[in-house]
């Protein structure tokens, strides 16, 4: 049977997934708010829909799988605000629904470990909005929902390489601070594996998507500079660093994220188990 994925909010991670699925014969329908991006999407084999004007009551007709990457706001989840009735109607007939969330739902744990059984305790507005969006999706009856809580995403065109190369990278030092990360290629392989063998655990399956090596952000910048043969940017104390409110909020959450479930339930072997492997591959490419 042919497989059709509706990708709602077709961003960086969703594009990586499409690159995996299209060669396997999948049909990908994807939304974008920007009409100028539609032609570029079509050139990659994706069928674009302009959000929200072209996403109507027939949007899920013939769709077998759904991936939603659209971030919530204070007003709630934008996809559910526009398509709740259609998703509820289609739920019993869908084979898999993926919701891309964030490890920000766990909040701050003082550098301690969290896993999927850790109760959400968000420390930021965006974390609170994600928790509410997760709950809203989980309340839809008969929906084969899979929630993926993503750590910091890096990969081609996204990450520390460009910043170190152009001299804008900063080594902000906050003692004890660590972040978990994941390469976009690993996100794509985990999503594709879940789609091939969906877990129907009610009310939904939840997976942390991160690598094996949570690390201080200043270590990643220093390692990147060494890989590129460039000077290591000077250290800046956190209290003295000029940062946007969003960037500063990331430093308010300090935790290490476990990824055992993707290995135990999905059989995942990470392509890039740590940032050193991921960055080395990017430099080589």
3-state secondary structure string across 166-229: HCCCCEEECCCCCECEEEHHHHHHHHHHHHHCCCCCCCEEEEEECCCCCECHHHHHHHHHHHHC
Is pLDDT of 254 > 60? Answer: yes
Q: Give the model confidence (pLDDT) of 201-229 as tens digits.
A: 667 899 999 999 999 999 999 999 999 99
Q: How far is CA 259 from CA 130, 172, 189, 231, in A?
A: 19, 26, 14, 33
In angstroms, rounded to a whole number, what is the distance separating the alpha carbons of residues 197 and 200? Answer: 9
Q: Give the model confidence (pLDDT) of 68-123 as tens digits.
A: 999 999 999 999 999 999 999 999 999 999 999 999 999 999 999 999 999 999 99
Confidence of residue 1 (pLDDT cuts 50, 70, 90): low
Is pLDDT of 58 > 80? Answer: yes
Among residues of the chain, what percentage have pLDDT more than 70?
99
Is pLDDT of 241 > 60? Answer: yes
Instruction: Name the DSSP class of 158.
Output: B
Architecture label for domain 4-155+181-212+256-272? 3-Layer(aba) Sandwich (3.40)
Q: What is the pLDDT of residue 246?
A: 85
**Domain boundaries defined on the chain:** 4-155+181-212+256-272
Q: What is the pLDDT of residue 60?
A: 96
Among residues of the chain, what percentage have pLDDT more than 90?
93
What integer best gives the mean pLDDT of the chain? 95
Q: Which of 142, 146, 148, 136 is nearest to 102 (CA)?
A: 148
Q: What is the pLDDT of residue 43?
A: 95
Q: What is the mean pLDDT of residues 181-198?
A: 97
Q: Give the model confidence (pLDDT) of 13-57 as tens digits.
A: 999 999 999 999 999 999 999 999 999 999 999 999 999 999 998
β partners of residue 87:
none
In angstroms, rounded to a whole number, what is the distance separating the alpha carbons of residues 116 and 65? Answer: 23
Q: What is the mean pLDDT of residues 161-188?
A: 96
């Amino acid at each position: 049977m042919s497989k059709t994925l509706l990708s709602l909010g077709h961003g960086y991670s969703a594009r990586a997934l499409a690159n995996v699925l299209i060669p396997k014969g999948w049909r990908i329908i994807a939304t974008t708010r920007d009409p100028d991006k539609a032609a570029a999407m079509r050139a990659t084999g994706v069928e674009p829909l302009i959000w929200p004007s072209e996403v109507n009551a027939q949007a899920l007709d013939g769709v077998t799988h759904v991936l939603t990457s659209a971030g919530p706001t204070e007003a709630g989840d934008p996809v559910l605000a526009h398509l709740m009735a259609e998703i509820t109607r289609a739920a019993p007939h869908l084979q898999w629904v993926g919701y891309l969330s964030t490890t920000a739902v766990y909040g701050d744990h003082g550098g301690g470990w969290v896993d999927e059984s850790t109760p959400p305790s968000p420390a930021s507005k965006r974390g609170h909005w994600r928790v509410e969006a997760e709950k809203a999706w989980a309340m839809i009856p008969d929906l084969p929902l899979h929630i993926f809580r993503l750590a910091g995403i890096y990969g081609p065109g996204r990450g520390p390489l460009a910043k170190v190369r152009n001299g804008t990278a900063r080594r902000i030092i906050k003692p004890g601070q660590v972040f978990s990360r994941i390469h976009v290629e690993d996100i794509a392989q985990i999503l594709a594996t879940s789609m091939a063998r969906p877990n129907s655990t009610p009310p939904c399956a939840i997976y942390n998507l991160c690598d094996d090596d949570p690390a201080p952000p200043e270590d990643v910048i220093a390692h990147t500079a060494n890989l590129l043969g460039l000077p290591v940017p000077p250290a800046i104390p956190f209290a003295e660093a000029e940062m946007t409110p969003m960037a500063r909020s990331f430093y308010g959450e300090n935790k290490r994220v476990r990824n055992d479930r993707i290995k135990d339930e999905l059989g995942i072997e990470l392509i890039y188990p740590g940032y050193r492997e991921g960055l080395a591959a990017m430099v080589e490419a």
